[in-house]
Structure formats: structure tokens, C-alpha cells
């Protein structure tokens, strides 16, 4: 199959700012590319569209598999666009650790929302990045903002560390939970509860309604045991049904109330400023790692070392230090 020709830097910029969805998708593909030539163009495109970003509200949505994230986002998203807003959904799909492939099925699970012209759904493979959050999710989010989207949802895989990663790139962090799935309080990870801005008991419908109400009380009592957040926001516990839509209006009102409160006390911009600094540090780590593994001498050295590492005849820690030292020596001597 012939590889599609990349657009020029100016074509990417013009298309994204015009809200052209085809170009937006191509621009996100560009920033996700690991090719050095694509990365160079991507950096210029991101620099050019940066002044047009930052006007959306960014909402992170996570929860364990089976909690109903896609159904929730489908219904919640319809409510948001019903308010006259444009919504972008960045759904990070789990990648196979065996072949690095991913399911990318969010458009199928959000069929109604994906067909609406006011919504844009972009599934991205999680790859091997921390906790399942795509290494390029931040860039994709900014591209969506530059394309004119008022609200950006970031749905994560929900497999552990992803919650921490997504919190570092959104304004509001929403954690979906289930009632009746065992001892709810024992199942809570303290770190996740401490960083969430709202804890939502999903699937509060039918026979599960009463169980959801009980879970809400238990979670609310548990949250009182945690120290107060520095932004003065008290995390809310609510129930909803992604299936029927019950409780979703109250959740959206809460998100808007949160933004208003954070804008008034100055935390909103302060938080985004800190996130931009973290983004820089994260990208430094990414660039160092990718440059290291793309180095031809390092590739060959790793290839030669693998049999010894696998056999246990050589310390993996010692070899790692040796490889890094080889890389540093090359930099200092000006070698490629």
C-alpha cells in the first residue's frame, strides 16, 4: 500500500485552525509518528497553533474496565453538545503487549456520538507509555482546542497508573465506580481517591439503584477521611446511569461550577501552568529515551549484550549503566 503523502507544515496549520476534521486527524497522526522527519514538522505545527489553544475545559474520565466508560461518555457527550458546545473525545485504547496492536473500538461503542458533526472521537493506541495514556495525548488535546472544540474528554484505559498521568493534563478528573462489586471501600486505591475531583457511581439504574445509593454514602464518608485539597474544592460523590441519562445534568453542572470556582481563586491557570512545566519534563524524558534507542552504536551494543543478560551471566543494572556511559561519551566527543 502506498503511504499517504504528508501535508506541508502550512497545510497542517491552516487546516487545523479552520476546523477541518480530516486535517485534524492527519495532524494527530503526525504528532503520534515516531519518525524523526515527522517529529520535526510536528514541533513546528504545535508551536504555531499554541496561541489558539487553552480555551476548552479538559475533563479526564477513568475507571476500571467494565464500569461503563464508553456508554457514559456517549450519553454525557450528547448532553454537552446539546448545550451548543463542540466536543472532542480522545479515547486511549489498550495496546497489546505482544504485538503492540490495539482494539481502537471506541467509535463503534459511541456510535450515536461519533455520527454527530458537533463531536469528534479520536481513538489512540496506548502503546507502552505509563499507565495507558498515549505519549501524544497532550498534543492531540491542544490540536483539538485549536480546531475549535469547547470541551475535551480524555478517556483512559483505567489499568492503574493511567489515573495519575491523565490528572496531569486535565482541569477536572472524574472517576467512575461501580456499586455491588464487592467491598467498595477496600477496593479503593488511596492515591486515586486523593486526586479525583468527583467520584461517580455509574449504572445506578434498575435493581442496582439502591446499591448505588448505599455505595454513594460509603464513598462520601470515606472522602471525609482525606485531607482538604489545596484548591479548596471538596470532591463530590454522585450517582448516574449512562444508560438512561439520569444524573448526567447534575454532573455537567458540577463540572461548570468547578471551573467557575477555580477561575475565581486563581487555581485554574496555576494548575495549567504547572501542567505545562510537567509536559516539558515528560517530553525531555521521551526525547532522551528515543534518541538513546535510535543510536546505531547503542542498538548494536544492546544486541550483543542480550544473550549475556538473558543467561544471567551479566548484571542487567551494570550493563544499563555501561550503555548510558557509552552514549554520554559519544555525545561529549561529538559522535553520531
CB 76 within 8 A of CB 238: no
Q: Pick the residue with more confidence: 228 or 75?
A: 75
How far CA 228 is from CA of 174, 191, 223, 224, in Å, comes to 17, 14, 9, 9
Query: Which residue did the predictor score with more confidence, 74 or 1?
Result: 74
- Percent of the chain predicted with pLDDT > 70: 84
Residue 292 has pLDDT above 70, yes or no: yes
Among 1.20.120.1200, 1.20.5.170, 1.10.2020.10, 1.10.3720.10, what is the CATH number of 1-51?
A: 1.20.5.170
- What pLDDT was estimated at residue 335? 64
HEC assignment per residue over the chain = CCCCCCCCHHHHHHHHHCCCHHHHHHHHHHHHCCCHHHHHHHHHHHHHHHHHCCCCEEEEEECCCCCCHHHHHHHHHHHHHHCCCCEEEEEEECECCCCCCECCCHHHHCHHHHCCCCEEEEEEECCCCHHHCCCCHHHHHHHHHHCCCCEEEEECCCCCCHHHHHHCCCCEEEEEECCCCCCHHHHCCHHHHHHCCEEEECCCCHHHHHHHHHHHHHHHHHHCCCCCCCCCCCCEEEECCCCCCCCHHHHHHHHHHHHHHHHHHCHHHHHHHHHHHHHHHHHHHHHHHHHHHHCHHHHHHHHHHHHHHHHCCCCHHHHHHHHHHHHHHHHHHCCC
In which residue are the cell numbers 458546545 written? Answer: 85
pTM for the predicted model, two decimal places: 0.87
Q: What are the tens digits of pLDDT across the range 50-64?
A: 999 999 999 999 887
194 within 8 A of 164, measured Cβ to Cβ: no
Choice between 277 and 131, residue whose per-residue pLDDT is larger:
277
Q: Tell which CATH classification among 3.50.50.60, 3.40.50.300, 3.30.70.20, 3.20.20.80 matches the domain 53-265.
A: 3.40.50.300
User: Domain-by-domain residue ranges, the chain?
Assistant: 1-51, 53-265, 280-333
Cell numbers representing residue 251 in the block: 454532573
140-178 pLDDT per residue, tens: 999 999 999 999 999 886 655 666 778 889 999 999 988
* Residues in contact with 23: Cβ distance below 8 Å, sequence separation at least 6, in sequence order: 7, 11, 12, 14, 15, 16
Q: What is the predicted pLDDT for the residue at 306?
A: 95
User: Long-range pairs for 303-310 at CB < 8 Å and ≥24 separation?
Assistant: none
Amino acid at each position: 500500500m502506498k503511504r499517504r503523502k504528508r501535508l506541508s507544515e502550512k497545510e497542517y496549520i491552516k487546516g487545523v485552525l479552520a476546523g477541518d476534521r480530516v486535517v485534524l486527524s492527519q495532524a494527530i497522526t503526525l504528532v503520534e509518528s515516531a519518525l524523526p522527519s515527522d517529529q520535526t514538522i510536528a514541533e513546528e505545527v504545535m508551536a504555531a497553533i499554541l496561541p489558539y489553544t487553552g480555551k476548552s475545559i479538559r475533563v479526564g474520565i477513568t475507571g476500571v474496565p467494565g464500569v461503563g466508560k464508553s456508554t457514559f461518555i456517549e450519553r454525557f457527550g450528547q448532553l454537552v453538545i446539546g448545550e451548543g458546545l463542540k466536543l472532542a473525545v480522545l479515547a486511549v485504547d489498550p495496546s497489546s503487549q505482544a504485538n503492540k496492536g490495539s482494539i481502537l473500538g471506541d467509535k463503534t461503542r459511541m456510535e450515536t456520538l461519533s455520527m454527530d458533526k458537533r463531536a469528534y472521537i479520536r481513538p489512540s493506541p496506548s502503546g507502552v507509555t505509563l499507565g495507558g495514556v498515549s505519549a501524544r495525548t497532550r498534543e492531540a488535546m491542544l490540536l483539538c482546542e485549536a480546531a475549535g472544540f469547547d470541551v475535551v474528554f480524555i478517556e483512559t484505559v483505567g489499568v492503574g497508573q493511567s489515573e495519575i498521568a491523565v490528572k496531569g493534563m486535565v482541569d477536572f478528573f472524574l472517576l467512575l465506580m461501580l456499586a455491588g462489586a464487592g467491598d467498595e471501600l477496600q477496593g479503593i486505591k488511596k492515591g486515586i481517591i486523593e486526586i479525583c475531583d468527583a467520584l461517580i457511581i455509574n449504572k445506578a439504574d434498575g435493581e442496582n439503584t439502591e446499591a448505588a445509593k448505599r455505595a454513594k454514602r460509603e464513598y462520601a464518608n470515606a472522602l471525609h477521611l482525606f485531607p482538604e485539597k489545596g484548591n479548596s474544592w471538596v470532591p463530590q460523590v454522585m450517582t448516574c446511569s449512562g444508560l438512561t441519562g439520569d444524573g448526567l445534568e447534575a454532573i455537567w453542572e458540577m463540572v461548570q461550577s468547578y471551573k467557575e470556582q477555580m477561575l475565581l481563586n486563581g487555581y485554574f491557570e496555576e494548575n495549567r501552568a504547572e501542567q505545562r512545566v510537567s509536559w516539558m519534563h515528560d517530553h525531555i524524558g521521551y526525547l532522551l529515551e528515543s534518541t538513546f534507542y535510535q543510536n546505531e552504536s547503542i542498538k548494536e551494543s544492546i544486541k550483543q549484550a542480550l544473550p549475556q543478560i538473558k543467561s544471567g551471566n551479566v548484571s542487567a543494572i551494570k550493563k544499563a549503566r555501561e550503555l548510558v556511559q557509552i552514549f554520554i561519551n559519544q555525545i561529549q566527543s561529538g559522535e553520531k
